[in-house]
Amino acid sequence: MTTIAFLGTGIMGRPMAANLARAGHEVRAWNRTRAKAEPLAAEGATVFGSAREAVDGAEIVVTMLADGPTVAEVIAGAGLAPGTLWLQTSTVGIEWAGRLAGAAERAGVAFVDCPVMGTRLPAERAELQVLAAGPAEVRERAAPVFDAIGVRTRWLGPEPGTATRLKLVMNGWVLALTNATAESLALAGALGVDPESFFDVMTGTTFDVGYARMKGPLMLSGDYPASFPAALAAKDARLVVEAAGDEVDLAGAKAALAHLEAVVEAGHGEEDMAVLYRAVAKGRAAG
């Protein structure tokens, strides 16, 4: 199989790397906080103390890191060898997708802009959707990686940034939907309506949304185990709003960003993004 260096083994990266190891690939894992990578040893991966050590001899490098500047810093320190295939799965925004592609070109490295759709549970189940943009000639090399981490790969053309643009569109929807769910449940509480009625009335309708049924119970319980942390969701919301510029009024994404920033500032950045309910409800008890 393939020798893969996996850089970034947090909530998303660790299960992705584990699924690669289970598929029979030789996985060389690295994370800034080594303790987050250590569990991968039980899956058959080798954990390294530096990114440079992890990428040494790897045919493919996968990055799943917090943001564009972090990806650039880690890759610069790792020193990718010419001919390496770099699969960049982090959500970094349009500007950084271009910068990273440029860095890859200068280093003689094949680059695929391939953010993934999904959170912790789909990552654990290898049910992510991969949005990919890169040279046609590397698709065959990338396929075993994408097949091991996801259920579908959507190739969107050769130009880096194309996949990132679609990821931002999808994130705008998810952010607005999360915020709208919080608003509806908070409004129910303010009006003395049983929030469960919200879900009952949706049942069997065209506006029934599974995502609301997933995040809503977290909001009502007041317990927010992280599937996707609020701090990272806020980062993604900023990327979405910045990408829109003055062309589109993204009121839903802007509201989600404001509420996410409020809860992050209040110390809830490591909790699930559903915790934005706290800002929407303005202190009203969940449920």
Q: What angle do CA 110, 74, 102 make, to 5 degrees?
A: 40
Confidence (pTM): 0.96
pLDDT at position 283: 73
Average confidence (pLDDT) per 10 residues, the chain, 287 residues: 96 98 98 97 98 98 98 98 98 98 98 98 98 98 98 98 98 98 97 96 96 96 97 98 96 98 98 98 69
Token pair 């942390």 is found at 229
pLDDT at position 286: 53
pLDDT at position 285: 58
CATH of domain 164-280: 1.10.1040.10
Residue ranges with strand state E in 24-158: 26-30, 46-47, 60-63, 85-88, 110-113, 116-117, 128-132, 150-155
DSSP 3-state assignment of 74? helix
pLDDT at position 182: 98
Residue spans per domain, the chain: 3-157, 164-280
- What class, spelled out in words, does domain 3-157 have in CATH? alpha beta
pLDDT at position 287: 44
